[in-house]
Structure 1
Amino acid sequence: MDKFDYIENPHRRYNPLTGEWVLVSPHRSKRPWQGQVEKIVEEKRPSHDPECYLCSGNERIGGEKNPNYDDVYAFQNDFSALLQDTPKGEFSDGDLFRAECESGVCKVICFSPDHSLTVPEMSVENIRKVVDLWCKEYKELGDRKEIGYVQIFENKGSIMGCSNPHPHGQIWASGLVPLETSKETDTQKEYFEKHGNTMLSDYLKTELEKDERILVENDSFVALVPFWAVWPFETMIISKRAVSNLLELTSEEKTDLADIYKKLTVMYDNLFEVSFAYSAGLHQAPTDGEEHHEWHLHMHFYPPLLRSASVKKFMVGYEMLGTPQRDITAEGAAKRLKELSKVHYKYQ
């Protein structure tokens, strides 16, 4: 029998951040590539939409009126998933029926007053203002005794549940550490105690040496396709310096975060020449009052588009009942993204 080759043969890849596995089937990607087969006609949006509840000066669905903001703006979500005044308590009926109260704060961050823009079309200077607001909200919410974790994220595109195209993101601050970050806390802590370095420091060092999945880098951050990627064009942004949260970044590093955020999303848009949908979020240390030397700041991007502007990849069948699976290898996805123009397709 031929020697096993993970680039050619079906195999599982391990995700050290979550302790989970993904089935990779490289041989299936040798089928004829069904690339971009249609051109999506994108709606041209105005800079200010009088019907948009996120635009400056407009009335929101809950009746509140936005100020005439001119850069970034944050407000409490009018329909929050978490509420500050949730009564404390729990429900238990034997070992099988349990419920516990959960309280918190949900906020919306408008990235720009310009309704027509998305992150890859914004200037680095204006994205830096978003990063600064992330820092402000992370500190203010994280300083509350009742808040154990501050999750900053962005849903882009209607297929990822985004109900409004205005450039914006969200923050959900909860009392307990959410499931995904709880898993990452445990795995990173175990690794740190064993090796004395953060997991992502060692991972990033090896990735930079191999240069098989690196997309773009600057002085402070690296964007790459993780070895264990599940989504077709899944990526991560990882800080070169082992910082546990946004507040530890220098001014230069904050600008570099804005810079690489733009560069990565330009790649995404250029892949199928469409405003590329994704869910993205920062993972950083919990704000539960404990020391978290094991945590290393990073940002996940989970995009659903597979072969074109309309062909999507979702978890179905075996993936829902067995384990996640992908055909395009992380190396193949990285190669395709890296070869793209660095100039947004609208301005080429």
Structure 2
Amino acid sequence: MKKTSTRLADGRELIYYDLRDDAVRDAVDRRPLDPAGLVHSEIRHDRLLGDSVAIASHRQGRTYHPPADECPLCPSRGGRMSEIPDSSYDVAVFENRFPSLSGDSGRCEVVCFTQDHDTSFAGLTEEQAALVLAAWSDRTAELARLPAVRQVFCFENRGEEIGVTLGHPHGQIYAYPFVTPRTALMLRSLAAHRERTGGNLFDDVVADELADGRRIVLDTSQWTAFVPHAAHWPYELHLYPKRRVPDLTALDDAARAEFPGVYLELLRRFDRIFDQEGAPGGSPSRGAGEAAEGRTPPTPYVSAWHQAPFGALEGHGVERHDFALHLELFTIRRTSGKLKFLAGSESGMSVFINDVPPEAAAERLREVASR
């Protein structure tokens, strides 16, 4: 992998990650942009719930469903300038032009998985997926060095139903200046479990799922994927490396080597869950806006890496190495043509109601395995 860092016209950082060591990235962004420092976000604390809210009014003006020939994530070609000044790229990461977090409030980055506008992550090769993993790991390490950053969150939102406004295959990275509420809950449960049993909660959850077996979707030499016992979403997968590590930077070579094949298989199964024919064979490379004849559109999903916060965790009662890196992949689609909406119970009281039994979801995800 070759890494090349440069600057966009407004001063934001852009990093190219290339498969070839001889790649040259010297294109210049010539767009007339105002300095990026004019954009600010604010973190406000909710005294009742104890969590934080990012106030980012400038995001009201962000790019919204542009036509494919005006996509800001495609390479710059034919005189049309985009966020990527070069005419081609493998993986590109840049500071978000419309960030939810900025300055002392953290940092937001966009990760372009490929220059191909009409594919999806599931359509990447294993070599391309490995490069994305390398970029996630590198950005985690770099962002963790920023004084204000406590937690790094790599994720992908896919599909208009999720709220995606750019169809190009891409994800984001949020570098938070605090420990996120969801992670704080995990740390609290982790500490309570250790106090009660002396064991590690993450290790015990994975061991219990393997012992039960009904919700296991994929189990390889380096990774285990399962539908959790108390899944919140209609189809939800958790993916853990066999060796517990706190973050992406700590994955060993064996886990890195096996990840692309495992992850691509899981994404392709997600795209086949709702196919009317019920059998494997749905195209794994369909783009976000196209569907194969006779099948439902590609499955909308959120794919989220959960990593340990950086810095001391004394107030949470655990050590950083107690946390287990894992990926959570879920869809809001509960059946063909129907979505799971977060209504009164979920939105008002944070009590989820799942229409799909986790055992049934796991069985379906096994049924649509690649042949």
Q: TM-score band (shorter)?
A: 0.7 to 0.9
Q: Does 1:225 align with 2:227?
A: yes
Corresponding position: 1:278 with 2:326: no
Opposite residue 130 of structure 2, the aligned amino acid is R
For 1:321 and 1:106, locate their aligned partners in 2 and report how far apart those are by CA, in whole Å.
Answer: 28
Shift in CA distance, 218/168, structure 1 to aligned 2, threshold 3 Å: same
Change in Cα spacing, 1:321 to 1:251, as seen in structure 2 (3 Å) is: same
Unmatched segments (≥5 aa) in structure 1: 1-47, 87-102, 344-348
Give the match for residue 156 of structure 1. 158
Give the conservation status (yes or no) of the 8 Å contact 2:73–2:82. Answer: no
The number of residue pairs the alignment matches comes to: 277
Q: Does structure 2 retain, via aligned residues, the 8 Å contact 1:198–1:296?
A: no
- With over 3 angstroms needed to count, the CA separation of the structure-2 counterparts of 1:284 and 1:68, relative to structure 1, is same
Verify: 1:244 aligned to 2:246, yes or no. Answer: yes
**Residue 193 of structure 1: CA displacement?**
4.8
Equivalent residue, structure 2, for 1:300:
328
Partners of 1:139 and 1:66 lie apart in 2 by 25
Shift of 1:117: 1.3
- Alignment partner of 1:80 is 2:108: no
In structure 1, the partner of 2:168 is 166
SS at match of 1:342: coil
TM-score, normalising length: structure 1: 0.74
1:58 Cα shift? 5.9
Structure 1 residue aligned with 2:191:
189
Question: Residue by residue, what CA displacement relative to the aligned partner does 1:169-205 show, whole Å, maximum 9, x if unpaired?
Answer: 0001011111111211222233245444431211111
Q: Distance in 2 between matches of 1:239 and 1:64?
A: 34
1:315 maps to which residue?
A: 342
Q: TM-score when scaled to structure 2? A: 0.70
Are 1:329 and 2:357 an aligned pair? Answer: yes
TM alignment of 1:73-222, pairs within 5 A:
73-84=92-103, 86=104, 103-222=105-224
Higher mean displacement: 187-196 or 323-332: 187-196
In 1, distance between residues paired with 2:138 and 2:251?
13
AA matched with 1:333: A
Larger RCO (CA within 8 A; separation ≥ 6) = 1
Q: CA deviation at 1:324?
A: 1.5
Instruction: Name the CA distance, whole Å, in 1 between partners of 2:125 and 2:81.
Output: 31
Matched letter for residue 270 of structure 2: Y
Q: Hey, what's the Cα distance between the residues in 1 that align with 2:190 and 2:113?
A: 31
How far 1:82 moved relative to its partner? 0.7
Structural RMSD (CA): 2.2
Alpha carbons of structure 1 residues 212 and 64: separation in structure 2 relative to 1, 3 Å: closer
Partner of 2:75: 56
Between 270-279 and 131-140, the greater mean CA deviation after superposition: 270-279
1:293-313 deviation line (CA, Å, top 9, x unaligned): 2200111122111110x2111
Q: Tell me which of 231, 234, 237 is aligned to 2:236.
A: 234
Q: Post-superposition shift, 1:120?
A: 1.4
Partner of 1:94: none
Q: Is the 8 A contact 2:73 2:84 kept in 1?
A: no
Distance in structure 2 (CA, Å) of the matches to 1:160 and 1:216: 25
Q: In 2 relative to 1, CA 69–207 (structure 1 residues): closer, same or farther, beyond 3 Å?
A: same
Write the distance in 2 (CA, Å) between the matches of 1:67 and 1:287.
Answer: 34
User: What percentage of aligned pairs have identical amino acids?
Assistant: 30
Q: Matched residues in 2 for 1:279 and 1:66: separation? A: 28
Structure 1 position 259, deviation (Å) = 2.0
SS in 1 for 2:322: coil
Question: Partners in 1 of 2:299 and 2:321 — Cα distance?
Answer: 35
SS of equivalent residue, structure 1 residue 78: coil
SS of match in other structure, 1:68: coil
Shift in alpha-carbon separation, 1:173–1:311, aligned structure 2, 3 A: same
What stretches of structure 2 of length at least 5 have no aligned partner? 1-66, 276-296, 314-318
Are 2:358 and 1:339 aligned? no
Offset from partner CA, 1:218-265 (integer Å, 9 cap, x none): 221111100010111111111211111111111221132222211111
Contact 2:144 2:150 in 1 (8 A): yes
Structure 1 residues 305 and 58 mapped into 2: Cα distance closer, same or farther (>3 Å)? Answer: farther
